[in-house]
Amino acid sequence: MDDIRIIELKESVIRDNDEEAEVLRRELKKNGTCLVNLMSAPGSGKTSMILALREFLEGKLRWGVMEADIDSDVDAGTLFSAEIPAVQLHTGGMCHLDAGMTRQGIEALESEYKDNDGFDLIFLENIGNLVCPAEFDTGAAFNMTILSVPEGDNKPLKYPLMYEKCDIMAVNKIDTLPVFDFDRQKAEQYAKLRNPELKIFYISAGTGEGIKALAEEIINRVNNWNRRGQ
Amino acid sequence: MDDIRIIELKESVIRDNDEEAEVLRRELKKNGTCLVNLMSAPGSGKTSMILALREFLEGKLRWGVMEADIDSDVDAGTLFSAEIPAVQLHTGGMCHLDAGMTRQGIEALESEYKDNDGFDLIFLENIGNLVCPAEFDTGAAFNMTILSVPEGDNKPLKYPLMYEKCDIMAVNKIDTLPVFDFDRQKAEQYAKLRNPELKIFYISAGTGEGIKALAEEIINRVNNWNRRGQ
């Protein structure tokens, strides 16, 4: 394969997304594939975090990435250059992915990387948007969000559903804490108002700080999920 | 008035938003009110920029701000504390404002600040979202977006419609250029691919750098708009 594959997603014709998401989740569990729905604001570091996780995931899991964007292939291109199995999904202007669109992406990723013989872990890098993606169940085993330090500590107050729906929050770009007015305690407090069970990790995708602990959490969740699937 | 007023917007029943936006724009022009639709990703500094513009707008224009959020009143509270006429609009979970919702906000702002005897300039601080708000004409005289340095220079490639629809782009947080991998030339090139007429300003709402030039541009546009309205 010489170039990243770009898949133009078709709008789903399914009326009940929640039902479709449950069906997809059951199928993935049966196949031993843990789908992680990664959501955040634009530019908070979704692709950089995935790149930083690579050294801790390689050799432990068969993993791949679906990069969803309205346009362009910059993110998938970045992963492709780093030899991470990836496809680029184009949503045709749509602001989120639903379960039907996610299914199209998984089928494309699996068909593109047939030699992989399946995936233990697939990241869906959702559209950079703190609003709409949180409203649609994609069929993921769990949801994850990134809050980057430059965005400010008050985002969980303004975009409540995102934090309610996520199991893990990675606070990224912590190497820039000295430059920005960001209060870790406030960020935690606001996020846990929405979801007391939220697990929080402090990372810098740039310097690598905190990435190992996050990778271990992800690997544990993948292993638990796939065991339960048997 | 002791507290910021919070307006729970009702979903518009209007079928043709473009037509409704044109009607609102004509009314605003007739009244000598220039509505500016300010859009960006979460945390790029919309409220901070408005606060920084204050010293250059005060005394020159009668101006006010509508802060649109899904939840919370942190932004409007900030402006209210700074004695800038402001109301908080809640969208009830919606990811954007249309012309009908904008009209409700303007009516609330005008009724809350009756002593003002109208506004020359009203900022609509739209929901932090680079996707959906760009799809809806709000009736604004012009659209403005902020790209903050930590988000990266490639955002115009990924969210093309936003840059296509905007007249002004403010590149914010330029004091953090040494900390981030952000190429000004690339950002300009990508943004102008979407809109060759886009006017670009480099600012730091934190340090105040570049704010005066941006304020002058806004004042000129307001004056031209209101002159044309006569």
Question: Nearest C-alpha of chain A: how many angstroms from B72?
Answer: 6
Alpha-carbon distances of A176 from A48, B20, B47, rounded to whole Å: 15, 44, 21
Radius of gyration of chain A (CA): 17
Q: What is the pLDDT of residues B183-224, one digit of tens each?
A: 999 999 999 999 999 999 999 999 999 999 999 999 999 999
B229 touches A: beta carbon within 8 Å = no
Q: Which residues of A touch B135 (CB under 8 A)?
A: 93
- The mean pLDDT value of chain B amounts to 94
**Test the A interface: residue of B179, B186, B193, B207 with most A CBs within 10 Å:** B179
Question: Edge-to-edge strands of the sheet including B121-125?
Answer: B6-8, B86-90, B63-69, B121-125, B34-40, B142-148, B168-172, B199-202
B204 touches A: beta carbon within 8 Å = no
Q: What is the pLDDT of residues B44-99, one digit of tens each?
A: 999 999 999 999 999 999 999 999 999 889 999 999 999 999 999 999 889 999 99
| Residue-range domains of chain A with CATH | 5-10+19-223 (3.40.50.300)
Q: Which residues of A touch B69 (CB under 8 A)?
A: 158
Question: Edge-to-edge strands of the sheet including A34-40?
Answer: A5-8, A86-90, A63-69, A121-125, A34-40, A142-148, A168-172, A199-202
A155 touches B: beta carbon within 8 Å = yes
Beta-carbon contacts of A69 under 8 Å, excluding residues fewer than 6 positions away, are A75, A88, A89, A90, A91, A127, B158
How far is residue B180's CA from residue B158's CA, in Å, rounded to a whole number?
19
Q: Which residues of B touch A70 (CB under 8 A)?
A: 131, 158-161
Do the Cβ atoms of B161 and A130 come within 8 Å?
no
Question: Nearest C-alpha of chain A: how many angstroms from B15?
Answer: 20
* pLDDT band per the 50, 70, 90 thresholds, residue B1: low
B132 touches A: beta carbon within 8 Å = yes
B74 touches A: beta carbon within 8 Å = yes
How far is residue A166's CA from residue A111's CA, in Å, rounded to a whole number?
29
Do the Cβ atoms of A42 and B41 come within 8 Å?
yes
pLDDT (tens place) for every residue of chain A, 230 residues total: 568 899 999 887 778 999 999 999 999 999 999 999 999 999 999 999 999 999 999 999 999 999 999 988 999 999 999 999 999 999 988 999 999 999 999 999 999 999 888 999 999 999 999 999 999 999 999 999 999 999 999 999 999 999 999 999 999 999 999 999 999 999 999 999 999 999 999 999 999 999 999 999 999 999 999 885 45
Q: What is the ipTM of this complex?
A: 0.91
User: Would you list the DSSP string of A58-77?
Assistant: TTT--EEEEEEESS--HHHH
Alpha-carbon distances of B7 from A1, A55, B42, B51, B204, rounded to whole Å: 54, 49, 21, 21, 30
